[in-house]
Structure 1
């Protein structure tokens, strides 16, 4: 994982985000990496994960192995 400044990426926020504080992260999927940023600070830093690590994270989340 590295951090970088946001560039021209197509960012998506979960359709389930919202609520009174609207706290959420946004994700942008690139060819080789996935960027994650704070939706309240869109000009702030971006966490950049290799695609394979992001896919492993999603698989673990879907299998409920993140406790």
Structure 2
């Protein structure tokens, strides 16, 4: 993926090197995530899985320990 495909989070601020970046895969069937500090490490996931994660984080579920 070229640099022009990546978009930084609106929470990045100041253009530093500590930002979450996302890119839609060329097939449109997945989303790639990376930290700008470690651009060679890329996590690829599906739209549904990412949506479920974000909903859980917003609901505070990601902060709860599993029992």
Rg: which structure is higher? 2
Q: Post-superposition shift, 1:41?
A: 3.6
The TM-score with structure 2 as length reference comes to 0.66
Q: Name the one with the larger helix percent.
A: 2
Q: Gapped runs of 5+ residues in structure 1?
A: 1-6
RMSD of aligned alpha carbons = 2.2
- Count of matched residue positions in the alignment of Structure 1 and Structure 2: 59
Q: Gapped runs of 5+ residues in structure 2?
A: none
- Report 1 or 2 for greater relative contact order, CA contacts < 8 Å, sequence distance ≥ 6: 1
The TM-score with structure 1 as length reference comes to 0.66
Q: Which runs of 4+ in 1 moved over 4 A?
A: none
